[in-house]
Chain A
Amino acid sequence: MSGHSSYNPTNPVAKWLDSRLPIMRFSKEHLMDFPTPKNLNYWWTFGAILAFMLVVQIATGIVLAMSYTPDAALAFDSVENIRRNVNYGRIIQATHAVGASMFFVAVYVHIGRGLYYGSYKEPREVLWILGVLIFVLMMATAFMGYVLPWGQMSFWAATVITNIFSAIPIIGDPLLQLLRGGFAVDNPTLKRFFSLHYLLPFVIAAVVALHIWALHVPGNNNPVGVEVKSSHDTVPFHPYITMKDLLAIVLFLIPFAWFVFFAPDILGHPDNYKPANPLITPAHIVPEWYFLPFYAILRAIDFDMWFISAKLGGVIFFGGSILVLFFVPWLDGSKTRSGTFRPLFKPFYWLFIFNFFLLTYLGAQLAVEPYSTLSKISTAYYFGYFLIILPIVSRIETPNPLPASISESVLGKGGS
């Protein structure tokens, strides 16, 4: 989609650089002139919000690392020291901790947008797969970050989640020891988590670069899902999209700032303000809210299936709930991208969204009735949506007629 270049430097230094490293040309083509569908709505600003959040997490994280101590005996106090004594530490620490939550809010909206508008469909499959990969890396990063303050929830989250690997037959136990660096979660575990927590955001940044590269080959999808046909359908990225994205970021910062300044701990768990104690498990352990849907799926499998124990079954469904996302481009066979034009798809989609909230709620409840049964139904719908509903609906549905072009959809028939 880069088209012909409009970068014609006259300045001799710019010309000199352009013939050696065309970085200015690249930036102009991809960050300013890039043709973008003119009908994008605000759901399309979450990509920029996510990029912004990554920068926020890296900036605050690097600063936190200057005062944080990755040692089981000192970590908890070092975070308290940041919160109480380091200049602005209270705000920086809260920004990082709340930032992780806001990051997940944005990524869930972004993924939900993709699922509704069929952004994963041909020719954007690789773009989608890279996105799911980023999501997986984000989860790993956030999980290991949550362990760093070494409170009770940190410790037991690390214990329960690493234990998932012990469900793997034969290699499970040696693998568990390898991951933990001991027979239980302990100092070596904390140290390696810190090392990896520092590393992974930069890996994410690299995959984000690939994600955007894969975006800039076919260009953006859009709310009607009709491909760009002419330059009438597009506007340049700058200033149209840059300004819109900035406005969205400012709006996003309002709840973000509210949490940081007025309720920095509301998204966390009070038990995490008790130092880690390997002898006492808190009565009700729950993961961070953004892992609850997947935690609900893990727990929903509390029965043995043939030779598969409940424990292994839970782990298979837990992993499967994320793996299945990689295959969505091939499970949904509908040629019509946008959900707006798919009458049969739409109700199932909204039910999926509702079900995802329900899973989040269920993940936070105790494993008793009626929640156990509801979790099973909810888990069944989660998988049913991807593995049964999408393939069948896309084959039997008659989509509504599409507008001839993006321009027509914006300006009505006869517009140009």
Chain B
Amino acid sequence: MASDATTDTTKRDFLYVATGAMGAVGTAVAVWPLIDQMNPDASTLALSTIEVSLSSIVEGESVTVMWRGQPIFIRYRTADDIAQSKAVPMEELKDPASDAERVTEGQEQWLVQIGICTHLGCVPTGQKSGSAKGDFGGWFCPCHGSHYDTAGRIRKGPAPLNLVLPDYNFLSDTLIKIG
């Protein structure tokens, strides 16, 4: 009898734990849709690629376009900008990247970046001709004072990383597809 009682208890314990575990899994499965609905929805994701024509941008100027609700900075860099960027030794960079890594080969004059400061997400100034470009001729974030250079690399201030590069490619010399 005694051994029967133990089998009984272990059986009960097992059923108890198994039921509890199933209940927990079931609850988690039921809760997941309630959480996942907060993620970007299909309409937001559907807007995920755009094509931008570069033909109207003049050398030295920049344009801003919207992609996924974020500003995209496109700058037609001057030969000076590029030379200045290439001259920077890697050791001086907080988030090391060569000028070549920031652009598409053969299209070095075009710098395409997400215009969002990698610190806490403000939009840096430097797109319009008169606006502050910071100490390194690129962009300046007014929120907590981050300076980016002519390759969009972080040079000074609290931002940890260079301006992020979106996925994009050249469809022709004057047309890019972002996303």
Quick one: CB contact mask for B44-88 with A, threshold 8 Å, 1 for yes? Answer: 100000000000000000001010111100000000000000000
Interface segment, B10-18, B23-31, B102-110, B138-146?
A: B138-146
Contact A309 B41 (CB under 8 A): no
Quick check: is A186 within 8 A (CB to CB) of the other chain?
yes
Q: Which of A182, A186, A283, A314 has the most CB of B within 10 A?
A: A182
**A-B interface pairs (CB < 8 A), number:** 87
Q: Which of A143-169 contact B (CB under 8 A)?
A: 156, 159-160, 162-164, 166
Contact A182 B159 (CB under 8 A): no
Of the four ranges (under 10, 10 to 19, 20 to 34, 35 or more), the interface on chain A belongs to 35 or more
Interface segment, B1-9, B117-125, B167-175?
A: B117-125
Contact B64 A160 (CB under 8 A): no
Contact A314 B158 (CB under 8 A): yes
Q: Which of A240-290 contact B (CB under 8 A)?
A: 278-285
Q: With the chains together, A279 CA to B38 CA distance in Å?
A: 24
Quick check: is B39 within 8 A (CB to CB) of the other chain?
yes
Which residue of the partner chain, among B35, B68, B123, B159, contacts A311 with CB atoms under 8 Å?
A: B159
Quick one: CB contact mask for B141-173 with A, threshold 8 Å, 1 for yes? Answer: 111110000000000011110000000000000
In the complex, chain A residues whose CB is within 8 Å of the CB of B158: 299, 302, 310-311, 314, 367
Interface segment, A45-53, A126-134, A173-181?
A: A173-181
Known contacts A163-B121, A314-B158, A183 near B142 by CB under 8 Å: no
Which residue of the partner chain, among A183, A285, A368, contacts B68 with CB atoms under 8 Å?
A: A183
The smallest beta-carbon distance between B70 and chain A, in angstroms, is 5
Contact A368 B145 (CB under 8 A): yes
Chain B residue at smallest Cβ distance from A312? B160
Q: With the chains together, A299 CA to B41 CA distance in Å?
A: 33
In the complex, chain B residues whose CB is within 8 Å of the CB of A179: 38
Chain A residue at smallest Cβ distance from B40? A182
The smallest beta-carbon distance between A400 and chain B, in angstroms, is 46
Known contacts A160-B120, A178-B38, A311-B160, A184 near B70 by CB under 8 Å: yes
Known contacts A281-B123, A310-B160, A311-B119, A182 near B38 by CB under 8 Å: no
Contact A278 B71 (CB under 8 A): yes
Q: With the chains together, A148 CA to B78 CA distance in Å?
A: 43
In the complex, chain A residues whose CB is within 8 Å of the CB of B41: 181, 188
Q: With the chains together, A43 CA to B72 CA distance in Å?
A: 53
The smallest beta-carbon distance between B41 and chain A, in angstroms, is 7
Contact B144 A302 (CB under 8 A): yes
In the complex, chain B residues whose CB is within 8 Å of the CB of A177: 39-40
Which residue of the partner chain, among B40, B44, B66, B143, contacts A281 with CB atoms under 8 Å?
A: B143
Known contacts A160-B121, A163-B120, A314-B158, A279 near B64 by CB under 8 Å: yes
Contact A183 B70 (CB under 8 A): yes
Quick check: is A192 within 8 A (CB to CB) of the other chain?
yes
Contact A181 B39 (CB under 8 A): yes
Q: Which of A181-207 contact B (CB under 8 A)?
A: 181-186, 188, 192
Which residue of the partner chain, among B35, B40, B121, B123, contacts A280 with CB atoms under 8 Å?
A: B123
Known contacts A284-B142, A311-B160, A160 near B122 by CB under 8 Å: yes
In the complex, chain A residues whose CB is within 8 Å of the CB of B123: 278-281
Contact B44 A188 (CB under 8 A): yes
Which residue of the partner chain, among B38, B120, B160, contacts A309 with CB atoms under 8 Å?
A: B160
In the complex, chain B residues whose CB is within 8 Å of the CB of A162: 121
Which residue of the partner chain, among A183, A279, A309, contacts B40 with CB atoms under 8 Å?
A: A183
The smallest beta-carbon distance between B124 and chain A, in angstroms, is 8
Which residue of the partner chain, among A164, A278, A314, contacts B69 with CB atoms under 8 Å?
A: A278
Q: With the chains together, A278 CA to B66 CA distance in Å?
A: 9
The smallest beta-carbon distance between A99 and chain B, in angstroms, is 28
Quick one: CB contact mask for A299-329 with B, threshold 8 Å, 1 for yes? Answer: 1001000000111001000000000000000
Q: With the chains together, A177 CA to B159 CA distance in Å?
A: 20
Q: With the chains together, A269 CA to B158 CA distance in Å?
A: 25
Q: With the chains together, A281 CA to B143 CA distance in Å?
A: 8
The smallest beta-carbon distance between A221 and chain B, in angstroms, is 40
Q: With the chains together, A278 CA to B116 CA distance in Å?
A: 10
In the complex, chain B residues whose CB is within 8 Å of the CB of A310: 158, 160
In the complex, chain B residues whose CB is within 8 Å of the CB of A184: 68-70, 116
Q: What are 19 contact pairs spanning A and B, CB under 8 A?
A: A156-B122, A159-B122, A160-B121, A160-B122, A177-B39, A183-B70, A184-B116, A185-B69, A192-B38, A278-B66, A278-B70, A278-B123, A279-B71, A281-B124, A281-B142, A281-B143, A302-B157, A367-B144, A367-B145
Q: A interface vs B, CB < 8 Å?
A: 156, 159-160, 162-164, 166, 177-179, 181-186, 188, 192, 278-285, 299, 302, 309-311, 314, 366-368
List 6 A-B pairs, minimum CB-CB distance, nearest first: A183-B68, A184-B69, A163-B121, A281-B122, A163-B120, A160-B120
